[in-house]
Structures are given as structure tokens and as C-alpha cells.
């Protein structure tokens, strides 16, 4: 199922994600296609089941199985558990808001940790801007990066300790 099929009026977002992915792949150069995609890599890790469920609910799982590359700042199951009571359930019922939250964790391109620490910001596929700080460990919009450079065939995953809710 495609994003446009899941969220009425979101065909433009699906098209923009695909265009970003194709452009970023052309720029990436390195072929890591023998590795599983970012979704399958996250599922195999075992501590991203809530993220995988949310991606499926928002119909973003197939998009993130696409060519990429994508950099995913992935909240762990523990990160989702820190959300206020009822927040995750409400997001799962509001596919448009859920999509905005999830795409706020994805940056086009394969950005390795060595490059992330040199950045001060990154533009997400959601259209927002993540603030990156590397003065006392690395944080992304205040979420601490706890594990880096989990390689996937179509990108890279960096584990963060919080869910990044975009400002409305």
C-alpha cells in the first residue's frame, strides 16, 4: 500500500518523498543494496517494534523500503514508552499527524555519524528542521543519540532516546 492510498490528499507528500529518495540515491554513490532496507533492519534489531507498527499504520513502511537513501533518527520502543499516556494511541488514530511525526525523523541521504557531528541542523522529509548539537554528546532536537551508523541497504539508522514531535 502506498502513502497516497492510506492518507487522502497526501499524494503530493508521497511524490515528494520519492523525489527526495531518488535524488539522494543518485548523490550517494555507494551501493549497499545487499543489506536489508531501513524498515527491515529496524525490525530485525528488535527494539523498534513500536516504530515499525507506526510506520505501517501511516503507510510509510513501503516508502522507507524504497530506494532511498534515508537517514532515520529512530526512536526505540523505550522512547515511545516515554510519551505521555494516550499520545501514541491518539497518533495511531490520526494518520495525517502520525505521518508528520514519523517523517520528522527522516532526513534524505545517508548521513553517517561522523558527518552528523559537524552539522547544526538537518531538513526532514516532513519539511521541518532538526537542530543538531554535538557539544556534550549528540542531540537531535533535544533527543540524545544513543547508537549510530546502523547500516541498511537504503540508508542508515541512528537511535535516539525520544520521539520528535514537530511543532504545529
Cβ contacts of 131 within 8 Å, gap of 6 or more: 120, 121, 140, 141, 142
Residue pair 44/130 in contact (Cβ under 8 Å)? The answer is no
Residues facing residue 121 across a β-bridge: 131
Proportion of the chain in helix, strand, coil states, percent, rounded to 5: 40, 20, 40
- Can you say how many angstroms the Cα of residue 57 is from the centroid of all Cα atoms in its chain? 14
CATH number given to 3-160? 2.30.180.10
* pLDDT per position as a tens digit, 101-125: 999 999 999 999 999 999 999 999 9
pLDDT in tens, the chain (168 residues): 443 445 444 444 444 444 444 334 434 444 556 899 999 999 999 899 999 999 999 999 889 999 889 999 999 999 999 999 999 999 999 999 999 999 999 999 999 999 999 999 999 998 999 999 998 899 999 999 999 999 999 999 999 999 999 876
DSSP string, 74-102: EEPHHHHHTSPTTHHHHHHH-HHHHHHHH
Amino acid at each position: 500500500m502506498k502513502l497516497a492510498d492510506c492518507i487522502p490528499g497526501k499524494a503530493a507528500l508521497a511524490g515528494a518523498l520519492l523525489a527526495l529518495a531518488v535524488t539522494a540515491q543518485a548523490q550517494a554513490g555507494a551501493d549497499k543494496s545487499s543489506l536489508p532496507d531501513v524498515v527491515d533492519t529496524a525490525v530485525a534489531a528488535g527494539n523498534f517494534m513500536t516504530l515499525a507498527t507506526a510506520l505501517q499504520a501511516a503507510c510509510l513502511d513501503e516508502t522507507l523500503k524504497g530506494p532511498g537513501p534515508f537517514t532515520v533518527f529512530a526512536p526505540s520502543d523505550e522512547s515511545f514508552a516515554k510519551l505521555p499516556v494516550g499520545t501514541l494511541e491518539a497518533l495511531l488514530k490520526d494518520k495525517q499527524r502520525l505521518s508528520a511525526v514519523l517523517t520528522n525523523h527522516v532526513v534524505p541521504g545517508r548521513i553517517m555519524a561522523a558527518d552528523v557531528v559537524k552539522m547544526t541542523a538537518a531538513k526532514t522529509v516532513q519539511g521541518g528542521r532538526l537542530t543538531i548539537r554535538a557539544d556534550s554528546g549528540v542531540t537531535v532536537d533535544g533527543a540524545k543519540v544513543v547508537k549510530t551508523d546502523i547500516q541498511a541497504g537504503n540508508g542508515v539508522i541512528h537511535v535516539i532516546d525520544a520521539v520528535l514531535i514537530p511543532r504545529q
